[in-house]
Amino acid sequence: MRLGSMSALDKQENDVWASTFRDARFSSITNTEPRTTCENTAAPEPLATPAPLLANGKDGARIVISFIIGTDGQVHSPLILRSSDDARDSTVLSAVRSWKFRPATCNGVPAESDGTVEFSRR
């Protein structure tokens, strides 16, 4: 296709995209109150945190994972901070994703919290 000439389908697609972006609207932020401070907090409690089954590997290997414990007690957004190798990383991530917690609380209300765990072979 030459520059400047459009097929009917290209023109229709261009019109759809143009109208989608042109009609986009954004509402203003309505909740501008400061966050409540936690006077009474409780850390998350592990309910089911099985260790990953790792095959024998080199001594001194470390895998460090950071994650969020949601208000539902599930692990969200696990992230490898320190890697050992792809096979072990995958096994550890699968195990951590299956973990269950009693969520942390802020003034008696479930709250998200961060967690970090290290697996190492010594």
72 CA to centre of own chain: 14
Which domains are delineated in the chain?
A: 42-120 (3.30.2420.10)
74 CA to centre of own chain: 11
Report residue 4's pLDDT band, with 50, 70 and 90 as the boundaries.
Answer: low
pLDDT at 62: 83
Can you list the positions of beta strands (E) in 2-112?
A: 41-42, 45-48, 62-69, 75-82, 100-102, 104-106, 109-111
3-state secondary structure of 12: helix
pLDDT (tens digit per residue) in 35-70: 668 889 999 999 999 888 776 666 667 889 999 999
Out of 24-28, 35-39, 65-69, 113-117, least confident range: 24-28
Residue 16 pLDDT greater than 80, yes or no: no
Tokens of 34: 């400061």
Report residue 33's pLDDT band, with 50, 70 and 90 as the boundaries.
Answer: low
pLDDT (tens digit per residue) in 85-103: 777 888 889 999 999 999 9
3-state secondary structure of 88: helix
